Structure 1
């Protein structure tokens, strides 16, 4: 099948190993930010609009599987294969606390009120840390049926959403009782679970299927078969009329939410796409890949996408020639290093 291309992306270099998780902050007075997790053990913070590097959080000794920002984007958290989750000052890059675990930590999430940090991983235990008392023992919720792959809060922090690496389904936990109150059934393990910005939908990816669930009544709203096995999907937050998905074919696909029809296909990555997320305003979306790059794609409206498909019958997306080198002023996370030194990348440039 002949695939068509969308607009050329901004290409963000810096990670030396695969990018496995992306997270956008909400819009703050200073704009919005993008944090990435990578197997190179160094989460990176970027300006969410331009992709400009802000800094690198250094301290983990193993692959970082998940990273996130709190609502005002003042603190970051990361979950790592070094058996720890870390809390960071997002303005200075300082490590505020390290939460030690007994096995690989695969997922982390700040509560909506920013006071709690949720973690999960190979121990099959959900842990809730009180960030006002980081030295206090966490609350532990046991009985996860498998190793935790993804975590999210919903219903004003009254419910936790979790999926497992080794079995299908998404489980909804009542925070007060610590019990599973509902399971959203899927055939394969869920590799991505996102709560929409308006709180109306839960988007899940399992194998070659993207599903959308009612986040309040938990009924299945839409289910679409994809052209290949996907790893991640994200719903456009402003209008909710399209979604993006990426996976093993290395392409970033754009689909109509109402019909499931593909309306654009972005080429450029040189490895499977592991993660994809819309920016909080919906004007762009970012993808992270096995190739170690993050690509930020501009969102086109339906007419623009149809014009792109009609006028360009296939062909690879070339990276933009321009070199974006601006830095966000006033935010210093790590000492600057000479070009070529590992762990810091200052430019958003073409390949």
Structure 2
């Protein structure tokens, strides 16, 4: 049986350049939300269930490489090629703080308790900003061996993980000592690292391999060879029985977690898939691509009968209309900005995608 079955996703337009990162909030009283990072310099917030556009965060002057929401979906963060990480009010769209760096910032992540913001990038430093004292100097952990590509928190904010653009492996850092306590070995550079919702697994994508690691003891649990070079992978959060992977071949592959058997394959993008994430309940997953679109794929029958989420004037449903109302007048940027491959504040960037 041909597994490449046509499945019609919700198509979310709005970005004018490649979408390079996606992040779902946990489920909140107003539903759950999806924030996207793009090389067009404008992170976007959407209703996570319907894909309806809520608003655009404007203020960056370079490509945005990473984005995140705190667990209450009240604040957003974005890391950019303009040498800054910005903290946003996710209700009003206002910029709350800009944390300046000395080089391109590729990754950012809120701590579980929402009080800290972790950043990393081409400076090869991991920094932890105290959001209760945003003007205070950040804590800097031991210098990373390479340019930082991904970061994440685990163990109730006691451990952080990072991967590098220019070398393999995932490094685990003890926040208290600021030192590397373990390295998870991979042959290729890790382009995606995700901590599972239950905190049990770390999912990594490197080259044409997806690996699953025990997040507590750090042993390798499973390793699967992929049909192509993949950039991102995500584990289904509710049952943990399947995972998705996507990359160079434009397809989104669905696999059985226990056997590695491919059980589905969806195509819709017109460029390589750069990022994939399951929604917090596992009922859908989102993909971002070189083609500038976000696509939301249902894993269970959809009950959404509202407007097309590709309409950038759509309003959020299920209790989030207030957020949409306060941000609906924010304009979507029309012009592409510096993505880090051009000169920024006098320094030429050389970071790959």
Q: Same fold (TM over 0.5)?
A: yes
* Other-structure match for 2:327: 333
Deviation readout 1:39-67 (Å, 9 max, x if unpaired): 00000000000000000000000000000
Q: Is the 8 A contact 1:64 1:80 kept in 2?
A: yes
Q: Distance in 2 between matches of 1:119 and 1:291?
A: 27
Are 1:39 and 2:33 counterparts?
no
Q: How many residues align?
A: 322
Which TM-score applies when normalising by structure 2?
0.89
Deviation readout 1:283-303 (Å, 9 max, x if unpaired): 0000000000000000149xx
Deviation readout 1:105-147 (Å, 9 max, x if unpaired): 0000000000000000000000000000000100111321000
Superposed, which structure 2 residues align to 1:1-351 within 5 Å? Answer: 4-300=4-300, 323-324=308-309, 326-328=314-316, 329-331=321-323, 332-333=326-327, 335-337=329-331, 342=334
Quote how far apart the aligned CAs of 1:336 are.
4.9
* Other-structure match for 1:311: none
- Could you say what secondary structure the match of 1:156 adopts? coil
Which TM-score applies when normalising by structure 1?
0.89
Quote how far apart the aligned CAs of 1:341 are.
6.7
Deviates more, 1:135-144 or 1:105-114: 135-144
Unaligned runs of 5+ residues in structure 1 are 302-319, 344-351
Deviates more, 1:326-335 or 1:45-54: 326-335
- Cα–Cα, structure 1 residues 212 and 341, in superposed 2: closer, same or farther, change >3 Å? closer
Deviation readout 1:308-341 (Å, 9 max, x if unpaired): xxxxxxxxxxxx9x7345402111225255xx97
Q: RMSD of aligned C-alpha atoms? A: 1.7
Q: Is the 8 A contact 2:42 2:333 kept in 1?
A: no
Q: Distance in 2 between matches of 1:121 and 1:286?
A: 25
* Other-structure match for 2:339: none
Quote how far apart the aligned CAs of 1:2 are.
5.7
Q: Distance in 2 between matches of 1:129 and 1:135?
A: 9
- Cα–Cα, structure 1 residues 336 and 95, in superposed 2: closer, same or farther, change >3 Å? closer
Q: Distance in 2 between matches of 1:334 and 1:84?
A: 25
- Could you say what secondary structure the match of 1:330 adopts? helix
